[in-house]
Amino acid sequence: MKNKHNKNTAKQILSGSSGGLGVRLEKIGVREFDLRDPYHLALSITWPQFFLGLLVLYFFINLFFALLYFAVPGSVVNLPPGSLIDAFFFSIETLATVGYGNMAPVTLYSHVVSCVEIFVGILLTATMTGLVFVRFSKPKAKLLFASHAVVSRKDGACRLMIRVGNGRMNALSEATLRVATLVNATADNGQFYRSLVDLKLIRSEMPFFALTWTVMHEITEDSPLAHLRTADLTALNASEVLLMVSMSARDPALGAQVYATHTYTSKDIALDKRYADAITVLDAGHSIADMRKLSDMELEI
């Protein structure tokens, strides 16, 4: 009998910053949008969602206070009786502390309501200003990943290669990259489980990352990817390989550490290919990297 997903089921796409193909994950018992954590919600949603949420919040706050003014006729001078739209516009002017002077509170009730609304308006403005600043100030990684990982099998050697590029005009420093894969295993009691195993890279750190970087893993007999040494395309697709790439670097221009992740599945791995040259060296001190060729591949000769 299948379990029904409750309202707290959340779906997540595990993918890289460059928009590569990912793996769909589902979580039960958590909310994708948790109103109890508004700060995280405000920072994790997209810009269109953020501004739409702000407009909806702004609308309902003004509507609430407009109904308070509308409920007591005569509490606001020059407010036409029975006009909710005028009460709404007066609420907007009060919330924004504009005060055009045409309508104004004249009773104790309306003065109290307007004082509360002005306080809410100041608090809302300060909060939204801070959230907009935080969203703008979040560092963008701009670390680019090739669309496919390649497996080179030439002259008896077998290597997994993943090419990454620096999408910034300035060089990054202290770049670190890790690659992990899921490995199927069986416990002593016969229970099946999957464990995350780090792949040993020939070089996992780059002190000066200016253009592109191709990280390599030597596929030996004891490697978790040993089956790729002799696999063909059919065997590769049946093996359900999943590579998880995590990269971090320091951006001197931002003065902050930036992070990016990417995933490769079996269909994102190319056998017996290599990356095409993306860097042209003009002289000893002048190199040009064409990031449009970051994912270009060619057959091994």
* pLDDT score for 2: 44
Residue 12's pLDDT is 46
Q: What is the pLDDT of residue 232?
A: 87
What DSSP string describes the chain?
A: -PPPP-TT-EEEEE--TT----EEEEESSS-SS-TT-HHHHHHHS-HHHHHHHHHHHHHHHHHHHHHHHHHSTTSEET--TT-HHHHHHHHHHHHTT---SSSEE-SHHHHHHHHHHHHHHHHHHHHHHHHHHHHHHSPP--EEE-SSEEEEEETTEEEEEEEEEE-SSSPEEEEEEEEEEEEEEE-TTS-EEEEEEEPPBS--EEEEESSEEEEEEE--TTSTTGGGGT--HHHHHHHT-EEEEEEEEEETTTTEEEEEEEEEEGGGEEETEEEPP-EEEEETTEEEE-GGGTT-EEE--
Residue spans in the chain of domains classed CATH 2.60.40.1400: 143-299
* pLDDT confidence bin for 23, thresholds 50/70/90: low
pLDDT at residue number 63: 96
Q: What confidence score (pLDDT) does residue 45 get?
A: 87
pLDDT, average across residues 158-173 = 94
Task: Classify domain 38-137 by CATH architecture.
Answer: Orthogonal Bundle (1.10)
Phi and psi at residue 174, in whole multiples of 5°?
50, 50
Q: How confident is the model at residue 60 (pLDDT cuts 50, 70, 90)?
A: very high
Indicate whether 17 pLDDT > 60. Answer: no
Q: Looking at the domain that runs over 143-299, which CATH code has it been given?
A: 2.60.40.1400
Q: At residue 109, does pLDDT exceed 90? A: yes
pLDDT of 238 > 90? The answer is no
238-252 average pLDDT score: 91
Min mean pLDDT across 7-11, 38-42, 49-53 is at 7-11
Determine the pLDDT at residue 38: 85
84-98 pLDDT, tens digit each: 999 999 999 999 988
At residue 137's C-alpha, the angle toward residues 58 and 126, to 5°, is 35
- How much of the chain exceeds pLDDT 90, in percent? 62
Domain with CATH 1.10.287.70 in the chain: 38-137
Predicted local distance difference test score (pLDDT) of residue 236: 85
Cα–Cα dist 171/174, whole Å: 10
Q: Compute the distance between CA of residue 224 and CA of residue 198 in angstroms, rounded to an integer.
A: 9
